[in-house]
């Protein structure tokens, strides 16, 4: 079974995440896409990070009508900091009959060579790279000619989780409309990302 691993803090999950996952599911003929919810990205600031349980709940709400999507929470059980290589290694051992691919945006791929055990990640999985933000792939991008890496065409969504959080912090509520309806209602009911 071919499975795409879509790692992220999902803080919060938004429509762009869902649309990208749907597009990749269709293009790559994956049986499933797993949203691997990261407790804390080792290189990101955690000051505006909603609790892990809130982020898991938001992903579950966002994907509840998509039978081929799964919320994967394995990283909460693993030693910190969470490194993608460690998680993939464990998932591969737990699910030997599944063929995993890592799904990342161009912004993350530009720094992929700096990731812990990046070359070993390529020994375990293929990588699917989708367009994100203002990042453009340069012709001489490291590893770009590797057959295990595929850059795909997919919708480009400018609004990201950071913009949604900043808008809510500043009491501007338009950006929240870029989240699935159930996620929007959950954020509002829980008062997430608001400051007093």
Domain limits, the chain: 2-159
Residues forming a β-bridge with 70: 34
Query: pLDDT tens digits, residue range 57-113?
Result: 999 999 999 999 999 999 999 988 889 999 999 999 999 999 999 999 888 888 888
Residue 140: per-residue pLDDT? 39
Statement: residue 175 has pLDDT above 80: no
Distance CA 131, CA 52 (A): 26
Is 2-159 a domain of CATH 3.40.50.620? yes
Query: pLDDT tens digits, residue range 132-156?
Result: 755 555 433 444 557 889 888 877 7
Sheet with 32-37: strands ordered across: 69-72, 32-37, 2-8, 99-105, 126-130, 149-151
Residue 136: per-residue pLDDT? 52
């Amino acid at each position: 079974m071919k499975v795409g691993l879509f790692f992220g803090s999902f803080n919060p999950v938004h429509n762009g995440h869902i649309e990208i996952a749907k597009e990749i599911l269709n293009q790559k003929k994956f049986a499933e896409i797993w949203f691997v919810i990261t407790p804390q990205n080792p290189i990101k600031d955690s000051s505006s990070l909603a609790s892990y349980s809130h982020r898991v709940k938001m992903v579950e709400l966002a994907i509840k009508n998509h039978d081929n999507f799964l919320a994967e929470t394995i990283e909460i059980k693993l030693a910190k900091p969470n490194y993608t290589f460690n998680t993939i290694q464990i998932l591969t051992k737990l699910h030997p009959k599944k063929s995993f691919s890592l799904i990342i945006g161009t912004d993350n791929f530009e720094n992929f060579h700096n990731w812990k055990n990046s070359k070993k990640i390529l020994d375990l999985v293929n990588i699917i790279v989708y367009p994100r933000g203002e990042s453009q792939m340069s012709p001489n991008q490291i590893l770009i000619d590797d057959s295990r890496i595929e850059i795909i065409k997919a919708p480009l969504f400018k609004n990201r989780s950071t913009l949604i959080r900043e808008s809510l912090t500043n009491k501007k509520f338009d950006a929240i409309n870029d989240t699935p309806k159930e996620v929007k209602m959950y954020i509002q009911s829980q008062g997430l990302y608001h400051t007093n």
